[in-house]
Chains A and B, each alone.
Chain A
Amino acid sequence: MSTSPTGPVHPPIEKDILATLGMPGWRYWLLLALSVALVAWGGWNFAHMMQTGMGVTGLNSPVMWGSLITTFVFFIGISHSGTLVSAILYFTRSPLRASIGRSAEAMTVIAIMTAGLYPVIHLGRNWLFFWLLPYPNQRELWPNFHSPLVWDVFAITSYVTTSALFLYMGMLPDFTLLAKRLTGFRRPLYRILSLGFSGTDSEWNLFERAYPLFAGVAIPLAVSVHSVVSWDFAMTLMPGWHSTIFAPYFVAGAIFSGLAMAIILLGFMRGGYKLQAYIRMEHFDMLAKLLLAMSVVMSVVYVTEFFLAIYRGSIAERDLFIWRATGRYALVYWGVILCNCLIPLLLFGNKMRRNIPVLVFVSIAVTIGMWLERFMFIVTTLAHNYAPFSWGFYQPTVPEAAICLGGLGWFFMLFLLFIKVFPCVSVSETLQGEEPAHGDADAAEAHHA
């Protein structure tokens, strides 16, 4: 490594990243085994559900959407933050991006791949999922383009494609750089995946033109995908759903839950992979402030939603919101308030924001709170709709819980495999970030001369 008056120009990033790709320790294997076990448990119960039918779930009339759809909306939310935050950090030239951008983008792609499983699982006759696709068929079945559910298919497909390409595009330079240093299966894999990228000036200029364009495409797509998911609910006339606040409410909630998951993943990566030099305390501090800000936004949204329901004179809506807080799902409601509004207030403390165990605890609470929030607004509206004669009650069964936890296991399993096979911190962006600023560069030149 060479040095200059302005400090080391080439940090040991390559060595550190290569170390993360080596043989993992027992903690990694333990986490992977736990994830695989959850996937196996969920898969077994899914097979049981396919064989037996949807009767093994707690779904009923009127609550025909339960924990499976809750988990779908939850993972869509998790997917929201990665690409969005990474793209915004790119435009703001934030140093935070080099450290957390890669894992946040990977989190997005993996979360949306996980989310996409749940509508198919929820179908019942899953093997006929292809009936949803728009292709000419003898039954003359065709998607109804007026339906938000069809919009959802297009929005999610566009988002997963764009997010995956955004992630891949950012990794191209690293594939080229690391292919020369690696051995084993990764060397040919990286060579193929690099698509011949050679680091020439024209390629970098192309890259620097294409990347912001891609980020510019990704930001509105990220906002639109969760808005469209919110319209699955808001376009109906159901009390508690039919609201103009739903799209921004969903987007804010998605950023909130995505940030919490990013903090959890980065917290474990930093300790487990010894990446303290790249994922630094000030990065956690910034993320914690963002999480706190989003918690405040969510609290305002909850209050506004409640206030409007009481104020606007719809008896069904007012009754529903009071029932949420006092009825059979009151525990869920107050769990949401505790996890999303009260526990994050710990982050007002300076020391708390720089204490990783506390930060991970708050983030886990927020993650649980956001799942409960999705469960609350989906299930309570269906259970307590306009017609009192059709009010009902729903609680998830063990197979449903297993399938939902299996999804969580699937998410962590894919993420653990990702960070083992691919570089989890961008080498080229870290190198770029280490380049001395203009003034420093002039000083270096003067010194050398």
Chain B
Amino acid sequence: MPSRWIATFDEPALVAQALTALADLGVPGTRLVSPAPYRAVHLTGQPGPWRAMGWLVLGGGLCGLATAIALEVGTSLAHPMHVGGQPVIAWVQFGVIMFEMTMLGAGLTNFLAMIVLGAWSRRQVAKAARDGLRSDRLTLAIPTSGRSPEQLQAIRAALVGATGIEEAP
């Protein structure tokens, strides 16, 4: 018994239709490989690490802010200079660099988080499906292990519009 089917489609609308039908059949774990963020990528129902992104970015921004404060306050105390009658620790003047480094920390964290979480999450998708990425087609990986022949027939019927269905380990 093969562990999954790899179904290819030409049109994003047909993939969305297939995903809806598979969800109605109660087939969990279906994954999609797509050349673009079509609406169908939101229909696989996979809980993903992306939910953490906002918090990670907030943390990165706060790290940037802390770095700016440490740099400005620490070095101003180490090399106290009175310029133009301003205090050595001048929070208003420090605000600009604090803002810039907060944003820089948030941006860098966002990028790194996307790369690292993306690398981690893509391993859960069958390599045969990932290798099939092309700009003119979409690929569905449907787990079929432990399914009865009737269920497999229903799944095949749900994949109406697929240009090809292959079995993959």
Binding site for B on A (CB under 8 A): 1-2, 4, 6, 9-10, 13-14, 134, 140, 142-148, 150-151, 154-155, 157-158, 161-162, 165-166, 168-169, 173, 176-177, 180, 195-210, 213-214, 217-218, 220-221, 224, 228, 427-429, 431-432, 435-436, 438, 440-442, 444-445, 448-449
- Chain A residue at minimal CB-CB distance from B30: A201
Whether the pair B46, A10 counts as a contact (CB closer than 8 A) is no
Decide if B2 is an interface residue (CB 8 Å cutoff). no
Whether the pair B122, A214 counts as a contact (CB closer than 8 A) is no
Interface size class of B (residues with CB under 8 A): 35 or more
Among A142, A221, A438, which residue has its beta carbon within 8 angstroms of that of B75?
A: A142
Decide if B7 is an interface residue (CB 8 Å cutoff). no
Whether the pair B160, A449 counts as a contact (CB closer than 8 A) is yes
Whether the pair A196, B35 counts as a contact (CB closer than 8 A) is no
CB distance from A219 to the nearest CB of B (A): 10
Whether the pair B108, A445 counts as a contact (CB closer than 8 A) is no
* A206–B97 CA distance with the chains assembled, in angstroms: 29
* A14–B137 CA distance with the chains assembled, in angstroms: 13
Decide if B1 is an interface residue (CB 8 Å cutoff). no
Interface of A is mostly: helix
Which residues of chain B have C-beta atoms less than 8 A from A197's C-beta?
Answer: 118
Among B11, B57, B111, B121, which residue has its beta carbon within 8 angstroms of that of A203?
A: B121
Whether the pair B110, A145 counts as a contact (CB closer than 8 A) is no
Whether the pair A206, B10 counts as a contact (CB closer than 8 A) is no
Query: What are 23 A-B interface contacts by the 8 Å CB criterion?
Result: A4-B11, A14-B136, A134-B75, A144-B81, A148-B96, A158-B103, A165-B108, A177-B133, A198-B122, A200-B33, A201-B33, A201-B44, A202-B46, A204-B41, A205-B41, A208-B37, A214-B110, A435-B12, A436-B13, A441-B39, A445-B13, A445-B16, A448-B14
Which residues of chain A have C-beta atoms less than 8 A from B160's C-beta?
Answer: 448-449
Known interface pairs A2-B11, A9-B11, A445-B14; A201-B32 also in contact (CB < 8 Å) = yes
Q: Which residues of B19-43 have CB atoms within 8 Å of chain A's CB atoms?
A: 31-39, 41-42
- Chain B residue at minimal CB-CB distance from A140: B79
Known interface pairs A158-B100, A204-B41; A199-B35 also in contact (CB < 8 Å) = yes
Known interface pairs A13-B135, A213-B57, A431-B35; A145-B12 also in contact (CB < 8 Å) = no
Which residues of chain B have C-beta atoms less than 8 A from A213's C-beta?
Answer: 53-54, 57, 106, 110
Among A10, A205, A218, which residue has its beta carbon within 8 angstroms of that of B42?
A: A205
Whether the pair B130, A200 counts as a contact (CB closer than 8 A) is yes
Whether the pair B17, A9 counts as a contact (CB closer than 8 A) is no
Which residues of chain A have C-beta atoms less than 8 A from B113's C-beta?
Answer: 210
Whether the pair A201, B53 counts as a contact (CB closer than 8 A) is no
Whether the pair A210, B122 counts as a contact (CB closer than 8 A) is no
Whether the pair A142, B79 counts as a contact (CB closer than 8 A) is yes
Whether the pair A209, B53 counts as a contact (CB closer than 8 A) is yes
Known interface pairs A145-B97, A198-B125, A436-B13; A427-B135 also in contact (CB < 8 Å) = yes
B119-134 vs A, CB cutoff 8 Å, 1 = contact: the mask equals 1011011000110011
Decide if B84 is an interface residue (CB 8 Å cutoff). yes
Whether the pair B121, A162 counts as a contact (CB closer than 8 A) is no
Whether the pair A432, B133 counts as a contact (CB closer than 8 A) is no
CB distance from A423 to the nearest CB of B (A): 11
Whether the pair B44, A154 counts as a contact (CB closer than 8 A) is no
17 extra interchain contacts, Cβ-Cβ under 8 A, other than A198-B130, A431-B36, A448-B14? Answer: A2-B11, A4-B13, A13-B135, A142-B78, A145-B75, A145-B94, A146-B93, A158-B104, A168-B111, A169-B111, A180-B134, A201-B33, A210-B53, A210-B113, A213-B53, A217-B106, A440-B13
Which residues of chain A have C-beta atoms less than 8 A from B76's C-beta?
Answer: 145
Which residues of chain B have C-beta atoms less than 8 A from A157's C-beta?
Answer: 100, 104
Whether the pair B36, A429 counts as a contact (CB closer than 8 A) is yes
Among B42, B79, B93, B136, which residue has its beta carbon within 8 angstroms of that of A1?
A: B136
Binding site for A on B (CB under 8 A): 10-14, 16-17, 31-39, 41-42, 44, 46, 48-50, 53-54, 57, 71-72, 75-76, 78-79, 81, 83-84, 86, 90, 93-94, 96-97, 99-101, 103-104, 106-108, 110-111, 113-115, 117-119, 121-122, 124-125, 129-130, 133-136, 160-161
Which residues of chain B have C-beta atoms less than 8 A from A444's C-beta?
Answer: 11, 13-14
Among A140, A180, A228, A435, which residue has its beta carbon within 8 angstroms of that of B96?
A: A228
* A180–B137 CA distance with the chains assembled, in angstroms: 14
Which residues of chain B have C-beta atoms less than 8 A from A427's C-beta?
Answer: 35-36, 135
* A440–B39 CA distance with the chains assembled, in angstroms: 13
Which residues of chain B have C-beta atoms less than 8 A from A217's C-beta?
Answer: 57, 103, 106-107, 110
Which residues of chain A have C-beta atoms less than 8 A from B133's C-beta?
Answer: 176-177, 180, 198-199
CB distance from B27 to the nearest CB of A (A): 15
Whether the pair B136, A10 counts as a contact (CB closer than 8 A) is yes
CB distance from B165 to the nearest CB of A (A): 16
Whether the pair B103, A221 counts as a contact (CB closer than 8 A) is yes
- Chain A residue at minimal CB-CB distance from B20: A445
* A2–B71 CA distance with the chains assembled, in angstroms: 58
Which residues of chain A have C-beta atoms less than 8 A from B108's C-beta?
Answer: 161, 165
Among B31, B94, B104, B119, which residue has its beta carbon within 8 angstroms of that of A201?
A: B31
Whether the pair B35, A428 counts as a contact (CB closer than 8 A) is yes
Which residues of chain B have C-beta atoms less than 8 A from A207's C-beta?
Answer: 37, 114, 118
Whether the pair A161, B107 counts as a contact (CB closer than 8 A) is yes
Among B53, B81, B134, which residue has its beta carbon within 8 angstroms of that of A206?
A: B53
- Chain A residue at minimal CB-CB distance from B96: A151
Whether the pair A435, B36 counts as a contact (CB closer than 8 A) is yes
Which residues of chain A have C-beta atoms less than 8 A from B38's C-beta?
Answer: 431-432, 435
Among B36, B130, B161, which residue has its beta carbon within 8 angstroms of that of A448?
A: B161
With most chain B CB atoms within 10 A of its CB, the pick from A198, A207, A427, A442 is: A198
Known interface pairs A145-B94, A202-B46, A228-B96; A210-B110 also in contact (CB < 8 Å) = yes
